[in-house]
C-alpha cells in the first residue's frame, strides 16, 4: 500500500473514528506542523515521522493509552511495509 493510501485509510480513518473529524484534523495539523510534512503528499519518510508524531501526541495517549498508541503505531508502520 502506498504511504498516501495508508495515511488516508489507516491513520486518518483511525483518528476520525476515535476523536471525530474536527479533533482528528487538529491532531493531524499539529503533527504536520511539528514534523514539517504536507498531508497532501505523504512519502515514506514523511509517513513514518508523521505517524510517530501522532502516536506521541498527548491527546492520542490520553485516549488510547501508551500501549494502545504504541500498538497502533506498529500497525500503521506495517501497513506500508506489506
Rounded distance between C-alpha atoms, residue 42 and residue 58, angstroms: 23
Q: What is the pLDDT of residues 30-57, one digit of tens each?
A: 999 999 999 888 888 899 999 999 999 9
pTM for this entry? 0.92
Residue 19 has pLDDT above 60, yes or no: yes
Rounded distance between C-alpha atoms, residue 30 and residue 58, angstroms: 11
For 47, residues 6+ apart whose C-beta sits below 8 A from its C-beta are 3, 6, 7, 80
Confidence of residue 10 (pLDDT cuts 50, 70, 90): very high
Confidence of residue 82 (pLDDT cuts 50, 70, 90): low
How many domains in the chain? Answer: 1
Confidence at residue 53, expressed as pLDDT on a 0 to 100 scale: 97
Rounded distance between C-alpha atoms, residue 5 and residue 30, angstroms: 20
Share of residues in the chain with pLDDT > 90 (%): 82
Q: What range does the domain containing 40 cover? A: 3-81
Burial of 17 (0-12, 13-18, 19+ CB in 10 A): exposed
Amino acid at each position: 500500500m502506498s504511504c498516501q493510501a495508508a495515511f488516508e485509510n489507516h491513520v486518518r480513518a483511525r483518528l476520525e473514528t476515535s476523536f471525530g473529524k474536527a479533533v482528528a484534523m487538529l491532531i493531524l495539523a499539529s503533527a504536520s506542523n511539528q514534523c514539517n510534512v504536507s498531508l497532501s503528499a505523504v512519502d515514506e519518510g514523511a509517513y513514518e515521522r508523521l505517524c510517530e508524531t501522532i502516536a506521541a501526541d498527548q491527546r492520542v495517549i490520553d485516549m488510547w493509552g501508551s500501549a494502545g498508541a504504541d500498538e497502533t503505531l506498529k500497525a500503521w508502520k506495517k501497513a506500508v511495509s506489506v
